[in-house]
Structures are given as C-alpha cells and as structure tokens.
Structure 1
Amino acid sequence: MLELYQFEMSHYAEKVRLILDYKGLEYRKIEVTPGVGQIELYQLSGQRQVPVLKDGSEIIADSTAIAEYLDKKYPEKPIIPSEPKQKGLCLLIEQWADESIGLNARKGLIGSIGSNQNFRTALLPNSVPDVFKNLVGAIPQELFGFLGMGMGADAVKDAQAALKRDLTALCFILLEQPYLLGDTPTLADFAVAGLTMYVKFPTGSYLNIPEALKGQGISGIADVGTFEPFFTWRDKLYADFRKSSPFATPSGSSPTSIDID
C-alpha cells in the first residue's frame, strides 16, 4: 500500500491527499512526529520536508513531484492533460498556486492566529485542557508576530491582498466552467483546492483537525460573501472526490522542529 508521510495541517500534503482520493488509490497516512519522525523522514528521503510518498521501493518528496509520479505510475483518471496547451496551463496554474496561494495563505493564517484569540485556541486539539487554551488565547498579538519570524502587519496585509486577487481571478475563471481547465478536473484544481485549506478550512470529516476549526479561516476572506462562489466550488470538489480522513499513524514522539513543504 502507498504510504504518505505527512503533517495533517500541511496544505501541500492536502494537495496530495486530494489527488490520491481522486485517483481512488489506497494509502496509509503516517503523521511525521517532530523529533524521531523527522529523523526517520530524513533517513527515508534525504530531506525533512513533507509530504513524502513511499510506493514500494520508490521514495518521492515534494508535492509536485509526487503528483507527476502518480500520474505516470497510475495513469487511470489522469490529472495532467496530454494536449500541449492544456498541459502547459495546468502546470502553470499549479506552480502559481504553490508559490502564490500556498505561501500567502500561510502568512495570512499567522496573521489571523495573532489577531483572533478564538481562532488561535481553535487550533488546539480538543484534548488540551481549558486552562492551557485560555493561556494561549491570552498571548499578546505582538508576540505572535515575533513567533511568525518577525512577520509584521504589512506582510500580513500584503499577503491577504494577494490572496484576494488570486481568489477573484479564480472566481472569474470558474464562472462558466466546472473546473479550471474545462470539463475535467486536473492537477490545477487539486492544487488550488488543497492550498486554500488555510484560507478557509473545509467542513466535513476530511481532516483530523479540531471541530471548532472547520469552516474557519483568514479574517476578511473566509468570513465574507465575496469569495463564496470559489468556496462553493471547492466544497463541491471535496464532496465529489475527497474521502473521509482516516487517522494517521504517528512516526515518532520526541519534540523538535520540522519543516513543511
């Protein structure tokens, strides 16, 4: 069985999970636990980032490389078009989603965590005691800016403005067609859907995340009606192709840091 070394909250891992579900491939999620799991991942793939896919003796790191591998190895229900122009557009949109939506969504999420106490505590697992949740909620916004590697208010504002432009463009593209490149879903659709996870977390049982977090996202984007056409499209994509999420098997237990692709 395919094994996906992942972090449940990684939007790049979510892109891969969407592709695996669309293709109907059985896979086992292995949650990369900071510490021992990070060492194991490095020994397996030569790097520390997730996602990493293990298919027998094949080890593939990076969400784009995984998508290309899956389409070659399991060509049924292809996600990369064969027609040259469509293929070029698909790969271009996927790269744009990785570099614009993916990076700006992370910055926007950090901004929302810093400015919204309720959203901040919603990120914590249900098993965390209320006393600790209250302490986390009381952390000053300025400290979260420091924890966000010094990212200031201007960086958050610029990221949110870029996301709004991206989502506006997507709404126009999807106005008269069911998918970004026409009548069939492609890698472009799954990249955009997965990488907007931080912008607004999907509802339903797709992700092993706290219930209070589902449907929440970046303030000023997730909670306004302007981009509802896009999120309605994404919700339908999830309903049509994403499976309920199985619990992941942990890979280690010692605390340290881990990078997210």
Structure 2
Amino acid sequence: MLELYQFEVSQYAEKVRLILDYKGLPYRKIEVTPGVGQLELFRLSGQRKVPVLKDGNTVIADSTAIALYLDKQYPEKPLIPVDPKQRGLCLLIEEWADESIGIKSRPVLFEALSKNLSLRSAILPSATPDILKNLVGSVPGEFLNLLGVGVGASPEAVKEAKTAIHQDLEALSLMLVDSPYLVADYPTLADFTVAGLSMLLKFPSGNYLNIPEALKGKGVPEFTDNAAYQPFFNWRDRLYADYRKPLTATTTTYTSGSNTPTSINID
C-alpha cells in the first residue's frame, strides 16, 4: 500500500491526499512527529519536509513531484490535460498556486494564530505531546507577533501576503463563474492544487481532516467572510464533496517512529 508521510494540517499534504482520493488509490497516512520524526524522514528521503510518498521501494518528496509520479504510474483519471493549451494552463496554475497561495497563506495564518488561543494548539500535528500543545496555546499573542518577525511573518510580510491573497481569490472566483473547473470540463492538477493549498485560509467543513470539530469550516475571517470570494469556497466545497473521501470510524493513521497504528478519533 502507498504510504504518505505527512502533517495532518499541511496544505501540501492535503494537495496530495486530494489527488490520491480522486484516483481512488488506497494509502496509509504516517504522521511525522516534529523533530524525531523528521530525522526519520531525512533518512528515508534525504530531506525533512512533508509530504513524502513511499510506493514500494520508490520514495518521492515534494507535492508536485508526487503528483507527476502518480499520474505516470497510475494513469487512470489523468491529472494533466492532453490539449496543449489546457496542459500549459494547468501546469502554470499549479506552479503559481504552489508559490502564491501555498506560501502566502502561512504568514496570514500566523497572524490569525496570534489572535486565537485555541487555533494555535489545534493546528499542531496530532502526534505533538500535550504538554507542548498546552505551552503553545498559552503563549501571549504579543509574543507571537514579535516571533513572527523572525520567521518571515512580520507585519509588512503579512500585509503583503494578504494583498496577494485577496487578488488570488478574486481572480479564482472570476475564473469559476459558469465553469465547473479551472482548466477543463473535468478536474485537473490545477484544481486539486488550488483546493488543497487553500486549506490554511479555510479548513474544509466536512469530516475530511483529523482536526477538532470547532475548526471545521473555520478560517481567516478576512477571507472566509468576504462575499466576493464565496464562489471560490463554494466551488471548493463541491470539489471535496465529489472527490475527497471522508474519514471513517475505521480510518487509521500511523505515527513516525512507531510500528503501532494510532486510530483517528472521530468526534
């Protein structure tokens, strides 16, 4: 079975999970424990970032590389159109989304964390020890704002990211007027990339992620409460309903560094 090394709230891992579900490929999620788990990941893939996909003896790092591998290895339900113009647009949108929404949603979320105590601990990987979750949740927002400067989430960076995301969501909402998908009359890599990477702006409302119920359907109010962007979020909800497989009572995940499966608790 395919194995996906991941963080549950990684938007790049969500991009891959959407693709795996769309193609109907069964896979086992392995939650990477921050720190020690990333050392294990380095031994496996030569780098410490998620997602990483293991298919037998083949190991692939990076969400784009994983998507291209899956499309070549499992060609049923192709992700990239054959038509040259559609193919070009699909690849262009995928690359743009990776570098725009994927990156710029992080400082925006960081600012939201400084204003929401429960959100801070809730988005940590499920394998994070409770003591660390409690510590993170108790950090004053003012300290997080100061810390944000050191991790690329300074007020100037947040402002710039917000401006870019406003433009991104406006463009996407306009593109989806009277169109079921971004590129073709069927979902492509562009759709799953944009949908997955927008996760940090608004978590999906269905039972798709192992996150607290209070987080489902919630996000950054500046974007989620803007009526102009509802066409985009409504489109994303339909994409999830059509192609993303919800968690079930039998869904299991594994924690890196352990051979013992840990059941996902469904509230």
TM-score by length of 1: 0.89
Aligned length in residues: 253
Residue range with higher mean Cα deviation, 149-158 or 183-192: 149-158
- Name the SS for the 1:220 alignment partner: helix
1:243–1:212 distance in 2 versus 1, CA, 3 Å: same
Residue range with higher mean Cα deviation, 130-139 or 83-92: 130-139
Name the residue aligned to 1:227. 229
Q: Is the CA contact 2:114–2:142 (under 8 Å) kept in the aligned structure 1?
A: yes
Name the residue aligned to 1:28. 28
Residue of 188, 191, 195 corresponding to 1:189: 191
- Name the SS for the 1:196 alignment partner: helix
Percent identity (aligned) = 63
Tell me by how many angstroms 1:140 deviates.
Answer: 2.9
Q: Is the CA contact 2:8–2:126 (under 8 Å) kept in the aligned structure 1?
A: no
1:25–1:33 distance in 2 versus 1, CA, 3 Å: same
Pair 1:248-2:250 in alignment? no
Tell me by how many angstroms 1:172 deviates.
Answer: 0.7
Q: Is the CA contact 2:15–2:196 (under 8 Å) kept in the aligned structure 1?
A: yes
* 1:195-254 superposed Cα distances (whole Å, 9 cap, x missing partner): 00000000111001111111111131123322111111000000000001333200138x
Name the residue aligned to 2:170. 168
Q: Which amino acid aligns with 2:253?
A: A
Name the residue aligned to 1:10. 10
Q: Is the CA contact 2:119–2:215 (under 8 Å) kept in the aligned structure 1?
A: yes
Residue range with higher mean Cα deviation, 115-124 or 6-15: 115-124
Q: Which amino acid aligns with 2:171?
A: A
Q: Distance in 2 between matches of 1:135 and 1:17?
A: 30
- Name the SS for the 1:226 alignment partner: helix
Give the alignment's Cα RMSD to 1 decimal. 2.5
- Name the SS for the 1:47 alignment partner: coil
Q: Distance in 2 between matches of 1:23 and 1:15?
A: 13
Q: Distance in 1 between matches of 2:126 and 2:60?
A: 33
Q: Distance in 1 between matches of 2:127 and 2:73?
A: 40
Name the residue aligned to 2:261. none
Query: Structure 1 stretches of 5 or more lacking a match?
Result: 254-261
- Name the SS for the 2:222 alignment partner: coil
Using CA pairs under 8 Å that are at least 6 residues apart, name the structure with larger relative contact order, 1 or 2. Answer: 1
Q: Is the CA contact 2:41–2:48 (under 8 Å) kept in the aligned structure 1?
A: yes
Name the residue aligned to 2:263. none
Name the residue aligned to 1:70. 70
Q: Is the CA contact 2:15–2:193 (under 8 Å) kept in the aligned structure 1?
A: yes
1:107–1:39 distance in 2 versus 1, CA, 3 Å: same
* 1:117-175 superposed Cα distances (whole Å, 9 cap, x missing partner): 454465469999x9998875563322112333262222112111111110100011100
Q: Distance in 2 between matches of 1:125 and 1:54?
A: 20
